Each structure stands twice: as C-alpha cells, then as structure tokens.
C-alpha cells in the first residue's frame, strides 16, 4: 500500500530553524554550525561545516569511542592476531563479534576472531596497576596459541592509572622473539569519537607491522585495498571482481586480512582507498615511505565499481588490463541491469536519509541514485571536514584542544625501499588526462542544492527530520533503527546491513537493490492501525454480513 505523503514545501532554512528551536542557546549556536544547507545561496560564502568537535553532553549522540575505532574497526577484522583488551570486561565483550567482519581462515586456519581476550581488570588492578596482569595475560595467550602477533588495546582507566602498555609489550616481544607484540593507546576518552582510534591504529600498524615482510610478492597489477572491512562479505565480492580482472590485491586494510598482508603492503604499486576517514593516514604514509601513490575508489554502486576498476586499469595503463576490465564490467552489468530494470519502477522518485559513521553516508548515495532515489539529508557521526568538503580544505583544518593529543607520526622516504612507482612525467601525463591522485572530493558535491548535511546527528534531530521530511527510507545504525521504525518509516542499517550483504561490487549492488525494494515496498507499514482504529465511527451494532 502506498503511503499518503505529506508534500513538503518547507525551505531548508525553516527545517534548520525547526531543528534548533528547542535547544538551549549555547547548544543551538553550536549545532547551527554542524547543520549545513548544501550550496547555500550564491550571495553567501561557500558553506563550511563544523565537524570532528566534541560531543554535546546529554544530547543522545550516535557516536562511540576511540577504543571502538581502533580495536573494533581497524584491528578487529584481522584473523591471525590475538587482540587483548586491557581493561574491565565490557569493552572486550561489546566488541566481540558484533561488527560483521567476515573472514576466510584459509589454509593455515588461524582465526582468533570468534574469541574475546581481556585482562578483565578488577579493583585491585586499578589501585595497584595492571601491568603485571597484562604481562601475565600476554604470556598466557602466547603459551596457549603461539600467534604471529599479539596486540594490546588500552581502555579508559588504563591511561588514568598510568599503566605503561608499550613498555610491557616491548618487553614481551623481546622475550618471545617469534611473536610481534605491540600496543595501542586508544583510551575511550581520547579525541571526540571513533576517529581518533582510526588514527592511533594507523600509526601503530604502520610503525610496527607494515614493511616487515621484505620478500617480494608475486602477481600482476598489485594493489592494496585500504579501508575495506569486509562487512557482510563486501571485501569478498570486491576481491572476486578484482581477481576476475587479473588485478592482485596484496593487502586489505583490514577486512579478511592477515598479519602477512599488513607486513607486505609496501610491495603494492597502487593503494586504493575505500573508506577515506579511517585509513587515509596509512595511504599517505605508504606513499611517503615507499613511493606508492594512492587513489580514492568506491565499490559501492555498480557504476562506481565500474568507474573504480577503470581508474585502476588506467593507472597501470596496460591495454590487456584495460580490455579485461571492460569485458568484466560488460559481463557483470548484465545481471545488474536486469535487476535494476525490475526494481526501478518501484523505487524511482523515492527519498532517503543517510547518517552513517565516516564514509558510507557518501558512498551509498551512488546506489540510491542508481535506483532513482533522492537523498534528502545526510551526515556522518565522526568524519572530518575533508570528508564533507573535500581534501582541498585540509590545509585550513585546525586541530582543537580535544584532539591535540592524538599523535601525528612523521614518516620519511625509506632509504632502502623507497621506489616511486611512476616518474614525475608519467604522473603529470595522467593528471593532464584528468587523473586524480590523493583526491577525495567529499560528500557535499554529490548532494543536491538545498539538502541538509548534518554532522553528529542526535536522537532528537533524527526524530524531527523524519517527522518533517518523511523520507521513504532512513539509513543509520542499530541504535537508531527501532525508534525510526516505530514511526512507520523503513530503516536500513548501513553498518551491519541488518545481517544482509554483501552490498559492494556488482553482486552487492544487486543485493542492495532487492533489499531496498523489499523494505520500501513491505506491506508491514500498512498494518499499523487496526481496522477499528481506521474506522472508529462504526460503533456497537451487530452486523453479520
């Protein structure tokens, strides 16, 4: 049943005012800078958004913490490293199998992902310090499993009580000799969101692991896929397509990844960045230290996937590869086109809102566009201005007091292994032909004029937006899902995919079209009122017909 739809003629400025109306003045002033009307009128300066700033206490944010960004997001998906959470039990428990990073344990069979390892700190550890317990825990993990690597993750109290986790891990690494042990100071209170955790993870992985395997890697057209976490099998689908094209993916950071993939990433000739927010640090460092250029790719959406494959082929510039990529695209698009022609009449003209972490609120707009759906409003939990406005704003970014203590590491060209993959002339020739290295234009340019771009959306604003603009589908996470659905608006989780997926690549696009078609067309939204609530005027008369 089609929903009767309120025709929305509200101006974006009215909607913004409506969102801000209820706040205390200080909160309203702050939120006003995080709610942006895209491409505001010509007379105004180009709109700037405030992002990556502290969360307003009590506002019911969607955000998580630095530990989640570091252990949960970046390191969690690596199957053959034992990840030990140093802290009370909660942090380890909640990040235990709750992100859907799928993995293929391969021939060696090492897979610690179904396990949760924790030092389970007790009050005496808080009082007397937890270093001894951490040391014992690392030893027990080593004795039980003999893994290639053990990583240790700090939680809130660890920084406060002054446990030196780096000293403990250095000591244990030296003691074992055959097991790389290192630590992450990713206390939950650092920075303002998961984002700080990404940065800390990038730094430590690059410092302690990348480049360790100096044995050259076999394969043609060697790339790294950075910032792809194999949620619901996305990475598997991308790998399938790459393989079909004859492109060798040496290392995925970090879906379905292994210790050796991180250790060998410097052997690739190109880095392809999916999630810009979480991994751009490693991309830059690989370029500086080893001379590997990076490009932004997007495998979400069939057309974006085709475009990204072409971009990779163009980089290598080899006719055999270019032809192969075209052949693969043509073959894969057959199914995509057949499904889209079935689905599109039902999805065309429908509207969506997307509020997801630091990357998908942008990427998934490609899929919705392919279905003829318009994005009314979007935003990130924890992205920075460059993810909204594009990397050209990076020189203008100011690090504020809350993020100042996130370490910036300096990387230099490696005296032995630095090897520029293209000559300056080759780079220039590509750039003259319109090729863009180290380029990410951000979310804003993709969105229509007058759409609302909102950073760190909260519960109140989500409810208001849905109430005013009545989207046909709302995309966010598990915490938002059921409050939105209670209002009768279908909700799609774009973190966990509601146990579905993959949504990346060609097969993923097909899955997504079908899923959105199912959701926006589901009859359940017509069952909310009982017949006697729909027609309350019929009161107690006996009518048997």
Partner 1 sequence: MALLRHTPTEVKERKALMINPAKTCQPIGAMYAALGINGCLPHSHGSQGCCAYHRSTLTRHYKEPISAATSSFTEGASVFGGQANLLQAVNNIFTVYDPEVIAVHTTCLSETIGDDLNQIRDKAIKTGKIPEGKTMIGAPTPSYVGSHVTGFSNMVKAMAQLAEPTGKKSGKVNIIPGWVEPCDMEEIKRLAAMVGVDITLFPDTSGVLNGPLTGEYKMFPDGGVTVKELKAAGDATGTLALGEWCSADAARWLDSKCKVPCSVLDMPFGLAATDRFIDVLRTVAGVPVPDTVAYERGQLVDMISDMHQYFYGKRVALWGDPDQLISMTEFLVSLDMHPVYVVTGTPGKKFEKRIKEICADKPFEVKVKAKGDMFLMHQWIKNEPVDLLIGNTYGKYIARDEDIPMVRWGFPILDRQGHQYFPTVGYKGGLRLLEMILGRLLDRKDRDDPEQKFELVL
The residues that are catalytic are: 65, 68, 99, 198
Phi/psi of residue 306, nearest 5 degrees: -60, -45
Q: Does 122 bind partner 1 (CB under 8 A)?
A: yes
Q: Does 87 bind partner 1 (CB under 8 A)?
A: yes
Q: How far is the CB of 395 from partner 1 (least distance, A)?
A: 25
Residue number with CB closer to partner 1 (143 or 537): 143
- What does the alpha-carbon distance between residue 252 and residue 262 come to, in Å, rounded to a whole number? 8
Site size toward partner 1, by CB under 8 A: 91
Q: Give the contact letters, 180-199, x = binds to partner 1 (CB under 8 A), - = no.
A: -------xxxxxx-------
Kindly tell me which residue out of 20, 35, 65, 443 binds partner 1, with binding defined by CB under 8 A: 65
Kindly tell me which residue out of 40, 47, 98, 422 binds partner 1, with binding defined by CB under 8 A: 98
Q: How far is the CB of 455 from partner 1 (least distance, A)?
A: 15
Kindly tell me which residue out of 27, 32, 322, 427 binds partner 1, with binding defined by CB under 8 A: 27
Selected range binding partner 1 among 204-212, 230-238, 242-250, 479-487, rule: CB under 8 A: 479-487
Of the CA atoms within 13 Å of residue 232, those in its CB half-sphere come to: 18
Q: Does 123 bind partner 1 (CB under 8 A)?
A: yes
Residue number with CB closer to partner 1 (192 or 279): 192
Q: Does 17 bind partner 1 (CB under 8 A)?
A: no
Residue number with CB closer to partner 1 (390 or 477): 477
CA distances to 51, 358, 406, 407 from 399, rounded to whole Å, are 11, 18, 10, 12
Residues 6+ apart with CB under 8 A from 85: 67, 71, 91, 92, 95, 116, 117, 118, 119, 153, 155
Count other Cβ atoms within 10 Å, centred on residue 7. Answer: 6
Residue number with CB closer to partner 1 (70 or 376): 70
Bridge partners, 375 (sequence order): 352
Closest CA to 33 of 429, 385, 482: 385
Kindly tell me which residue out of 10, 11, 136, 327 binds partner 1, with binding defined by CB under 8 A: 136
Residue numbers 246-285 binding partner 1 by CB under 8 A: none
Euclidean distance between the first and the last CA atom of the chain, given in angstroms as a whole number: 26
149-154 and 81-86 beta bridge pairing: parallel
Q: Give the contact letters, 40-59, x = binds to partner 1 (CB under 8 A), - = no.
A: --------------xxxxxx
Stated as kind and residue range, the H or E segment containing 316 is helix 302-316
Closest CA to 265 of 276, 247, 253: 253
Q: Does 156 bind partner 1 (CB under 8 A)?
A: yes
Phi/psi of residue 27, nearest 5 degrees: -65, -40
Q: How far is the CB of 540 from partner 1 (least distance, A)?
A: 23
Residue number with CB closer to partner 1 (19 or 247): 19
Bridge partners, 295 (sequence order): 272
Residue number with CB closer to partner 1 (326 or 498): 498
Closest CA to 260 of 65, 106, 480: 106
Closest CA to 255 of 242, 237, 276: 237
Q: How far is the CB of 55 from partner 1 (least distance, A)?
A: 4
Kindly tell me which residue out of 90, 317, 445, 536 binds partner 1, with binding defined by CB under 8 A: 90
Residue numbers 346-405 binding partner 1 by CB under 8 A: 401-402, 405
- What does the alpha-carbon distance between residue 33 and residue 50 come to, in Å, rounded to a whole number? 5
Q: How far is the CB of 453 from partner 1 (least distance, A)?
A: 21
Residue number with CB closer to partner 1 (490 or 505): 490
Residue by residue, DSSP assigns 69-81 as IIIIIIITTBTTE
Kindly tell me which residue out of 435, 483, 514, 515 binds partner 1, with binding defined by CB under 8 A: 483
Tell me what percent of the chain is helix, strand and coil, each rounded to the nearest 5: 45, 15, 40
Residue numbers 511-540 binding partner 1 by CB under 8 A: 528-529
Q: Does 29 bind partner 1 (CB under 8 A)?
A: no
Task: Strands of 3-57 (E only): list them.
Answer: 35-37
Residues 6+ apart with CB under 8 A from 123: none
Selected range binding partner 1 among 269-277, 341-349, 415-423, 484-492, rule: CB under 8 A: 484-492
Selected range binding partner 1 among 88-96, 212-220, 415-423, 514-522, rule: CB under 8 A: 88-96
446: DSSP letter: G
Quick check: 516 and 503 in contact, CB under 8 A? Answer: no
Of the CA atoms within 13 Å of residue 354, those in its CB half-sphere come to: 25
Kindly tell me which residue out of 100, 267, 481, 492 binds partner 1, with binding defined by CB under 8 A: 481
Residue numbers 210-239 binding partner 1 by CB under 8 A: none
Quick check: 350 and 328 in contact, CB under 8 A? Answer: no
Residues 6+ apart with CB under 8 A from 220: 246, 247, 248, 321
Residue number with CB closer to partner 1 (95 or 451): 95
Kindly tell me which residue out of 34, 38, 52, 61 binds partner 1, with binding defined by CB under 8 A: 61
- What does the alpha-carbon distance between residue 360 and residue 274 come to, in Å, rounded to a whole number? 10
Residue numbers 278-337 binding partner 1 by CB under 8 A: none
Q: Does 19 bind partner 1 (CB under 8 A)?
A: no
Quick check: 107 and 140 in contact, CB under 8 A? Answer: no
Residue number with CB closer to partner 1 (4 or 423): 4
Selected range binding partner 1 among 141-149, 165-173, 270-278, 371-379, rule: CB under 8 A: 141-149
- What does the alpha-carbon distance between residue 80 and residue 180 come to, in Å, rounded to a whole number? 12
Residue numbers 402-461 binding partner 1 by CB under 8 A: 402, 405, 459-460
């Amino acid at each position: 049943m089609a929903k009767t739809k309120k025709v929305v003629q509200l101006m974006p400025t009215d909607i913004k005012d409506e969102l801000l109306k209820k706040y205390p003045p200080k909160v309203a002033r702050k939120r006003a800078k995080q709610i942006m009307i895209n491409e505001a009128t010509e007379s105004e300066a180009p709109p700037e958004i405030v992002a990556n700033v502290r969360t307003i206490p009590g506002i019911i944010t969607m955000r998580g913490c630095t530990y989640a960004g570091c252990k949960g997001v970046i390191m969690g998906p690596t199957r053959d490293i034992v990840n030990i959470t140093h802290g009370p039990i909660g942090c380890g428990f909640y990040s235990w199998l709750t992100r859907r990073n799928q993995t293929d344990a391969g021939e060696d069979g090492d897979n610690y992902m179904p396990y949760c390892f924790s030092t389970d700190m007790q009050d005496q550890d808080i009082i007397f310090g937890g270093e001894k317990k951490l040391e014992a825990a690392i030893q027990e993990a080593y004795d039980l499993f003999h893994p290639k690597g053990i990583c240790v993750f700090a939680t809130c109290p660890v920084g406060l009580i002054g446990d030196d986790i780096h000293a403990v891990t250095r000591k244990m690494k030296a003691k074992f000799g055959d097991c790389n042990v290192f630590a992450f100071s990713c206390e939950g209170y650092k920075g303002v969101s998961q984002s700080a955790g990404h940065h800390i993870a990038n730094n430590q992985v690059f410092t302690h692991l990348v480049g360790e395997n100096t044995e050259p890697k076999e394969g043609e057209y060697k790339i790294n896929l950075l910032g792809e976490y194999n949620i619901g099998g996305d990475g598997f689908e991308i790998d399938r397509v790459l393989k079909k094209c004859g492109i060798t993916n040496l290392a995925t950071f970090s879906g379905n990844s292994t210790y050796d993939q991180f250790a060998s990433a410097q052997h690739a000739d190109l880095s392809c960045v999916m999630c810009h927010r979480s991994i751009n640090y490693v991309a830059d460092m690989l370029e500086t230290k080893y001379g590997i250029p990076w490009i932004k790719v997007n495998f979400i959406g069939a057309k974006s996937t085709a475009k990204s494959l072409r971009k990779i082929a163009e980089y290598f510039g080899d006719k055999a590869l270019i032809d192969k990529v075209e052949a693969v695209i043509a073959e894969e698009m057959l199914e995509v086109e057949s499904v889209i022609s079935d689905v599109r009449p039902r999805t065309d003209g429908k509207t969506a809102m997307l509020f997801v972490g630091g990357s998908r609120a942008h990427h998934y707009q490609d899929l919705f566009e392919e279905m003829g759906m318009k994005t009314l409003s979007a935003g990130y939990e924890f992205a920075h201005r460059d993810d909204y406005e594009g990397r050209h704003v990076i020189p203008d970014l100011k690090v504020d007091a809350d993020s100042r203590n996130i370490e910036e590491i300096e990387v230099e060209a490696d005296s032995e292994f630095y090897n520029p993959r293209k000559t300056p002339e080759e780079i220039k020739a590509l750039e003259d032909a319109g090729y863009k290295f180290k380029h990410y234009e951000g979310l804003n340019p993709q969105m229509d004029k007058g759409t609302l771009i909102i950073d760190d959306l909260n519960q109140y604003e989500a409810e208001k937006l849905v109430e005013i603009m009545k989207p046909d589908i709302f995309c966010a996470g598990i915490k938002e899902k059921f409050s939105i659905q209670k209002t009768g608006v279908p909700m799609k989780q774009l973190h966990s995919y509601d146990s579905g997926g993959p949504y990346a690549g060609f097969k993923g696009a097909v899955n997504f079209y079908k899923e959105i078609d199912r959701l926006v067309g589901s009859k359940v939204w017509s069952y909310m009122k009982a017949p006697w609530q729909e027609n309350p005027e019929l009161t107690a008369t006996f009518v048997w017909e």
